[in-house]
Amino acid sequence: MSLTRINVAHNHLADLPEAICELVTLEKIECGDNRVRSVPSAVSKLTRLALLSLKNNNLRRLPEALGKCAALKSLSLNANDLVALPESLCNLQNLKRLTLAANKLQSLPWSMGEMGALKTLDFSSNPLIRLPPSLGLLIDTLEKIDLFECTDLRDPPAPIIDAGHGRMMV
């Protein structure tokens, strides 16, 4: 029997233990509500990982290697200290749900619109100034984009605004 899920939430962890990255059969990691400051680059070994929750931690950055977790479908990074996202995040072509609420993001990777499986994006409570124009490419697949309390936001992509009347914008 192989371990497929691990929940280490609410444990005062300062880092995501690198040993977790050796559990290559993992499909789900719950590591929210800790004090995690970093994610090891070895996370790229988790080729079956479908859900990664790192909400309510102290993350300031993510490793480029996260973009190699091709099976990832849900990534929860709410309530951290992220100021930027690695461009490699846009390699996650199976990602359906990306939540980044309550971080310190002012911008997003420009190729984010190439993440064709995305259904839900939550950028609420971030000091975003601009959204990548490429997000307009997701107009047919996105079901929800949350921009609540993004008070610095200027010039959202026109296709998002045009289609947003009740369907996508929150």
pLDDT along the chain (170 residues), means of 10: 92 93 96 97 97 98 97 98 97 98 96 95 95 89 92 74 52
- Provide the pLDDT for residue 136: 87
35, 57 Cβ separation under 8 angstroms: yes
Q: Where are the domains of the chain?
A: 5-163
- Provide the pLDDT for residue 168: 45
- Provide the pLDDT for residue 139: 86
What residue type is 146 in one-letter code? D
68: left (phi > 0), else alpha (psi -120 to 50), else beta?
alpha
- Provide the pLDDT for residue 161: 61
Top-level class of domain 5-163: alpha beta
Structure tokens at 122: 């939550």
Residue 29 bridge partners (DSSP)? 6, 52
Q: pTM score, two decimals?
A: 0.92
Q: How far apart are CA 130 and CA 153, in angstroms?
A: 6
